[in-house]
A and B are shown apart, each in its own frame.
Chain A
Amino acid sequence: MSDRDLVVLGVGMHPWGKWGRDFTEYGMVAARAALKDAGIEWKDVQYVAGADTIRNGYPGFIAGATFAQKMGWTGARVSSSYAACASGAMSLQTARASILAGFCDVAMVIGADTTPKGFFAPVGGGDRKNDPDWLRFHLLGATNPAYFALFARRRMDLYGATSEDFAQVKVKNSIHGLNNPYARFRKENAVEDVLNSPVVSDPLRLLDICATSDGAAAMIVTSRAFAEKHLGSLKGVPRIKAVSTSTPTYPQTLLEMPDFATDSSAVVMPPARGFKDSICWDAYEEAGVGPEDLSMAEVYDLSTALELDWYEHLGLCAPGEAEGLLRSGATTIGGRIPVNPSGGLSCFGEAIPAQAIAQVCELVWQLRGQAEGRQIDNAKLGITANQGLFGHGSSVIVGI
């Protein structure tokens, strides 16, 4: 075990759904579950790294303090991180840095959200003509699914991907998540279900696109010394081996939410690895592993087609080959490299600040052999991949 590994002592989640309750209630359920799983008390937590939600008023912006107060003030240090969909990974990195620097031994990483119905719209009122997130809605009506659709359409026109291929991702994930007690959508979907669902942003249909959900996830991470003292042996205990929170390198040449345009590659050559590739490869390099070492991956399937993009960014196959990899069954549980054994966003919907933490929770359950009804045989090493609005990368590698 590397000196820079962080031990995951406990994980916990509140089921995903749509209840409209206060997000801190969900967070408390996840926090208590993680503490129980870790076998420690709330008072043992020295640091609370909160992932922010910007849709729940002031308490959402100060998530670390909000959850610390909700659990009962103990004097713990706190941090609050905002990186859109990557907020969970940024919180984990904050906790990790604090532990590896020796400032603390035991940290809680936590995120929870309550989401509105329908399309995500810009937060806050009034005309904001300097805010690209406001302007993309005002001038273009460029919703999140519209951006997902741009990437889906490229796969179709460049690689010959079909709506059936995209539907097949949904079918796979719907089966993976069927027995996951934390998943919101637990219904097996057939290709026809997807193809018969209404087109939201062509070429993507309703069942190609992830919903927005309420939910919460938490984990207890500790120093090696604390975990050894607490557990005796660290054999078979999941450890964080890498956390990549990369940003793009200029020029960023993929058109990403919420931008109107890419950077220019007229003068400066694009980097050898584009942004989404670098998110994953920075994590591989930090952990000293490669895609061939993986037992599984949890990727951000905001849409079915985006899951296919991630296969390529992760190096599971070459560009243009993701549909083939999917069709071969390699990414289904039982295959060579199962992707989204949890059921993914397809079965969860997105609870923004909790989602990147939930991805790690799934890897932990898989590595411990506790993923009942969706267990991957002999799971040893897993990766998460995710990207947050405004240039936030998120990839975590967990192994035993």
Chain B
Amino acid sequence: MSETVTSNASQVPAIEGWFTLDQNPHLIGAQCTGCGTYVFPPREGACPSPLCDSDELKATPFSRFGTVWSYAENRYAPPLPYRAAEPFEPYALVAVQLEKEGIIVLGQAPKGILAKDLKVGMRMQLETDVLYREDGVDYMVYVWAPAVQDEAAGGAK
């Protein structure tokens, strides 16, 4: 993706091609070139709709803003392959509904945003945060944060 900018040499995405690491990060999904339906995580190949016989999915930026569908807060360190920090700090998971894409995407909340800070229906925006650090490199992941930016200014291009 042309808009992918790695602002800091020590930051790399924990997974390639799912989100951008720029100032106004957004998810990268896939869209069917035939019927227009969306897919996340992004992938190539056949459209998931049984009504469409297209074999082409194209990477596409997803809306940066959505609303909370539900949320949870992990109080215990998840098992490997999650790289839990020690000592473990509770963190929230948020499922956010994206209106245009008609899709709900699960992500972590940024560190410090817990279940008590969330509510079904709340406006959220995509950010990135450190998933784990290894050999001086920050492995980054997308997170859903309570929306603070103006949607028109910070939305996906």
Chain A residues in the interface with B (C-beta under 8 A): 118-119, 121-122, 127, 129, 132, 134-143, 146-147, 149-151, 153-154, 157-158, 198-204, 250-251, 253, 255, 259-268
Enumerate chain A residues within 8 angstroms of B15, measured Cβ to Cβ: 129, 135, 139
Count of chain B residues with a beta carbon within 8 Å of a chain A beta carbon: 51
26 intermolecular pairs with C-beta atoms under 8 Å apart:
A132-B41, A134-B81, A137-B81, A140-B106, A140-B107, A141-B77, A141-B78, A141-B91, A143-B79, A150-B71, A150-B72, A153-B115, A158-B120, A201-B73, A201-B75, A201-B76, A203-B72, A250-B49, A251-B37, A251-B102, A262-B103, A265-B102, A266-B38, A266-B100, A267-B32, A268-B37
Chain B positions within 8 Å of A202 at CB level: 72-73, 75, 90, 92, 114-115
Within the complex, the shortest CB–CB distance from B107 to chain A, in Å, comes to: 7
CA distance A166 to B73 in the complex (A): 17
Among A127, A200, A260, the residue within 8 A (CB) of B41 is A260
Decide: B141 and A139 in contact? CB cutoff 8 A. Answer: yes
Residue numbers in A under 8 Å from B80 (CB-CB): 121, 137
Judge if B39 is at the interface, Cβ distance under 8 Å. Answer: yes
Contact residues in B for A141 (Cβ distance below 8 Å): 74, 77-78, 82, 84, 91, 93, 108
Query: Do B70 and A153 touch across chains, with their CB atoms under 8 A apart?
Result: yes
Q: How far is the CA of A95 from the CA of B14 in the complex (A)?
A: 45
| Secondary structure type dominating chain B contacts | loop
Complex contacts, B84 vs chain A, CB 8 Å: 141
In the complex the two chains form, what is the Cα distance from A151 to B71 in whole Å?
A: 9
Docked-complex contact B101 and A266, CB < 8 angstroms:
yes
Question: CB of B131 within 8 A of chain A?
Answer: yes
Q: Does B119 contact A (CB under 8 A)?
A: yes
**Contact status of A146 and B50, CB under 8 A, knowing A137-B82, A261-B106:** no
Question: In the complex, A264 Cα to B75 Cα: how many Å?
Answer: 31
Give the chain B neighbours of A142 by CB distance below 8 A. Answer: 78, 93, 106
Q: Is B35 positioned at the interface, with any CB of A under 8 Å from its CB?
A: yes
Within 8 A of A (CB), among B93-125: 93, 95, 100-108, 114-115, 119-121
Determine if B115 and A267 form an interchain contact, defined as CB atoms under 8 angstroms apart: no
Q: B103 to A203, Cβ gap below 8 A?
A: no
A132 to B71, CA, bound (A): 19
Residues of A within 8 A of B115 (CB): 153, 202-203
